[in-house]
Structure 1
Amino acid sequence: MITTFIRNHQYNVIKKQSEFLLKTLRTVADRKVLETVRYRAGVNIMETFSSLTEDQKLMLGEIASIEKADDFQRYLNTMEPYMEPFPTITPKQIQKLFPKNKKLKIPDLSSIDFRYITYLGWIDIASNRLFIVYPYEGRFIGIEGRLMPIHKKGYCLFCNRHQELALFSVKTKPAGASIDNLSAISHYVCLDSQGCNHSITDTASLEKFILSVSK
């Protein structure tokens, strides 16, 4: 029986390191430089995991011996059965996360490959609102906020890639404040949640933001 242990953001690290190493192999002839890049790629991959079994270390460490483009793709393909999907969630569970939104438009969950998402995000175009669902410590957290496209590229708070951005503003209630004294926390995020999920390599900024607005 296969034990899953690779989360989406960790797979993205593996993919990113594989792509960088392949590019180096194609453009650099110096063997010392190549060996340094190989070593660094392996370290970067291992460091994204808090713990690994010896078998898992051996599997991930195979990147150090890859020479050809086809072998890189096979290496990535071997990771897929070990990917830990986003926890199972139903439309009813999502609706409960946003009780004030009676006309919530939920995405087609059957069309989503949950192995490749770190957070579930979708936009209600009619209201210019972004909805995010994130699993945290055995529960789901749902946040929503206004999304304002800025029509320029920059670095997303969640995935740190240079992409088309929007200003995501979430209203919060400071401790001791009344419902009439709401404030907003705003950050620039990707307009494309799917692309963001395919690029995110660290969950720290995402979690910090979600926890800051969900109190």
Structure 2
Amino acid sequence: MSIPFIRNHQYNVIKRQTEFLLRTLRTVADRKVLETVRYRAALTITEAFPSLTEDQRRMLERISTFETAYEFQNYLTDLEAYVEPYPPITEKQIQKLFPKSKKLKVPDLQAIDFRFVTYLGWVDVATNRLFIVYPHEGKFIGIEGRITPTNKKGYCMFCNRHQELAFFTVKTKSALPDNYSSIGQYVCIDNPACNQSIADTGSLEKFIFSVLK
């Protein structure tokens, strides 16, 4: 039985290194350069994990032995069995995270492949609000704010992908009673694509926890 140990953002690191290594094999003939790239690809992948068993490390480091697109694709397909899905969540749990949103429109949870989700995000077009649910230490954190399309491309704070952006503004409560401020960042309009690209949760968590202070 496969025991999941790869989170979505780590799987994205693996995909990125697989694509880079395959592209290098197709364009570079120097064997020394190729060996260096192979080594760096395997190292980048293993460094994305805080801890690994020896079997897990060997499984991931297989990337350095492949030559063909078929082998790389099989590698990624095999690793899907070890991807740890987003924790189970229900519509009622989501609604409790946003008690002020009485008519909250929750996405169709049955249609989501939660293996490839780092954060659950969706836009309520009627209110121009972005909702984010993030799992942390066995609990779910919910934040919401206004989303404003910018009609320009740039780098998303969450996934660092160059894509069409929107400005996400979240109100935060200060230490003074009834005194509010706001924090804003540029993020992807396309949340599923953002999840498929995010390779590090640092910026996402920094933003979420700055809102909660």
The reply to whether TM is greater than 0.5 is yes
Once the two structures are superposed, residues 13-60 of structure 1 have per-residue CA deviations (whole angstroms, 9 ceiling, x without a partner) of: 000000000000000001111011000000000000000011101110
Distance 1:164 1:182 in 2: 29
Equivalent pairs counted in the alignment come to: 213
Letter in structure 2 aligned against 1:214? L
Q: CA deviation at 1:174?
A: 1.2
For residues 9-28 of structure 1, what are the structure 2 equivalents within 5 Å? 9-28=9-28
Q: Using the alignment, how far apart are the partners of 2:154 and 2:146 within structure 1?
A: 19
Identity %: 69
1:178: Cα distance to partner? 2.0
> Which stretches in structure 1 are left out of the alignment for 5+ residues?
none
Cα deviation 1:136-157 (Å, max 9, x = unaligned): 1110000000000000000000
Q: How does 1:34-183 map to 2 (within 5 A)?
A: 34-175=34-175, 177-179=176-178, 181-183=179-181
SS in structure 2 of the partner of residue 45 of structure 1? helix
Q: Which residue does the alignment assign to 2:3?
A: 3
- Tell me the distance in 2 between the aligned counterparts of 1:155 and 1:42: 26
Q: SS of the residue aligned with 2:5?
A: coil
Aligned to 2:199: 201
Matched letter for residue 34 of structure 2:
L
> Aligned partner of 1:196: which letter?
C
Q: How many angstroms apart in 2 are the aligned matches of 1:96 and 1:119?
A: 17
Q: Where does residue 211 of structure 2 map in the other structure?
A: 213
Deviation at 1:2, TM superposition (A): 1.7
Distance 2:69 2:101 in 1: 48
- CA contact 1:141–1:214 (8 Å) conserved in 2: no
TM-score normalized by structure 2? 0.99
One-letter code aligned to 2:44: N
Distance apart, 1:214 and its partner CA: 2.0
> Mind listing any 5+ residue stretches in structure 2 that lack a counterpart?
none
Letter in 1 for 2:42: G
- One-letter code of the match for 2:125? I
**Distance in 2 separating the partners of 1:61 and 1:205:** 27
Q: Secondary structure at the match of 1:76?
A: helix
Deviations 1:90-137 (A, max 9, x none): 000000000011000000000000000100000000110000000011
CA-based RMSD of the aligned residues comes to: 0.6
